[in-house]
Amino acid sequence: TTANQPYRTAYHFQPPKNWMNDPNGPMIHKGLYHLFYQYNPYGAVWGHIVWAHSTSTDLINWTPHDPAIYPTQESDINGCWSGSATILPRSKPAILYTGINRQNQQVQNLAVPKNLSDPYLIEWVKSPNNALMAPTAMNKINSSSFRDPTTAWQGPDGRWRVIIGSKRDDRGMAILYRSKDFVHWLEAKHPLHSANGSGMWECPDFYPVSVGIQNGVETSMVGLGIKHVLKWKMILVGDMIMGSFMLQRLSLIVLRPGGSLWGWINESTNATIDIMKGWAGIQGIPKSLWLDKSGKQLVQWPVVEIEKLRVNQVDSPSKVLNGGSVLEVSGITATQADVDIAFEINEFDKVDVLDPSWTNPQLLCSQKGASVKGELGPFGLLVLASNGLQEYTAVFFRIFKGQDKYVVLMCSDQSRSSLHLDYDKTTYGAFVDVDPLQEKLSLRSLVS
> Is 82 one of the binding residues for ligand DQQ (CB under 6 A)?
yes
CB 378 within 8 A of CB 398: yes
Name residue 84's amino acid.
S
Residue 22 among the catalytic residues: yes
If phi > 0 it is left, if psi is from -120 to 50 it is alpha, else beta; for residue 44 that is alpha
Backbone angles phi, psi at 236, to 5 degrees: -115, 140
Whether omega before 3 lies within 30 degrees of 0, making that bond cis, reads: no
Closest by CA position to 119, among listed 59, 61, 57, 51: 57
> From the CB of 110, what's the least distance to ligand DQQ, in Å?
16
Q: DSSP E strands: which ranges in 60-105?
A: 63-69, 80-88, 92-100
> Is 417 one of the binding residues for ligand DQQ (CB under 6 A)?
no
Give the one residue of 26, 93, 208, 257 binding ligand DQQ; rule: CB under 6 A: 257
> Is 22 one of the binding residues for ligand DQQ (CB under 6 A)?
yes
> From the CB of 282, what's the least distance to ligand DQQ, in Å?
14
> Is 205 one of the binding residues for ligand DQQ (CB under 6 A)?
no
> Is 407 one of the binding residues for ligand DQQ (CB under 6 A)?
no
> Is 148 one of the binding residues for ligand DQQ (CB under 6 A)?
yes
> From the CB of 310, what's the least distance to ligand DQQ, in Å?
32
Q: DSSP E strands: which ranges in 326-368?
A: 337-343, 352-353
> From the CB of 177, what's the least distance to ligand DQQ, in Å?
17
Smaller CB distance to ligand DQQ: residue 49 or 394? 49
**DSSP bridge pairs for 176:** 163
Smaller CB distance to ligand DQQ: residue 80 or 407? 80
CB 16 within 8 A of CB 287: no
Give the one residue of 147, 228, 231, 233 binding ligand DQQ; rule: CB under 6 A: 147
Smaller CB distance to ligand DQQ: residue 100 or 209? 100
Site string for ligand DQQ, 347-386 (x = CB under 6 A): ----------------------------------------
Give the one residue of 19, 27, 34, 38 binding ligand DQQ; rule: CB under 6 A: 38
> From the CB of 77, what's the least distance to ligand DQQ, in Å?
15
> From the CB of 287, what's the least distance to ligand DQQ, in Å?
18
> Is 167 one of the binding residues for ligand DQQ (CB under 6 A)?
no
> From the CB of 352, what's the least distance to ligand DQQ, in Å?
36
CB 46 within 8 A of CB 40: yes
> Can you give the C-alpha Rg of the chain in angstroms?
23
> Is 37 one of the binding residues for ligand DQQ (CB under 6 A)?
no
Name residue 24's amino acid.
N
CB 360 within 8 A of CB 368: no
> Is 267 one of the binding residues for ligand DQQ (CB under 6 A)?
no
> Is 132 one of the binding residues for ligand DQQ (CB under 6 A)?
no
CB 365 within 8 A of CB 428: yes
> Is 202 one of the binding residues for ligand DQQ (CB under 6 A)?
yes
Q: DSSP E strands: which ranges in 89-159?
A: 92-100, 106-113, 124-126, 146-147, 153-154
Give the one residue of 39, 81, 160, 396 binding ligand DQQ; rule: CB under 6 A: 81
> From the CB of 146, what's the least distance to ligand DQQ, in Å?
10
- The DSSP 8-state label assigned to residue 387 in this structure reads G
Size of the residue set binding ligand DQQ (CB under 6 A)? 13
- Distance (Å, whole) CA 371 – CA 374: 9
Whether omega before 378 lies within 30 degrees of 0, making that bond cis, reads: yes
Strands 18-29 and 279-280 turn out to be parallel
> Is 258 one of the binding residues for ligand DQQ (CB under 6 A)?
yes
> Is 21 one of the binding residues for ligand DQQ (CB under 6 A)?
yes
> Is 98 one of the binding residues for ligand DQQ (CB under 6 A)?
yes
CB 396 within 8 A of CB 379: yes
Name residue 433's amino acid.
D
CB 362 within 8 A of CB 428: yes
> Is 269 one of the binding residues for ligand DQQ (CB under 6 A)?
no
What residues act catalytically?
22
Binding site for ligand DQQ (CB under 6 A): 21-22, 38, 49, 81-82, 98, 147-148, 202-203, 257-258
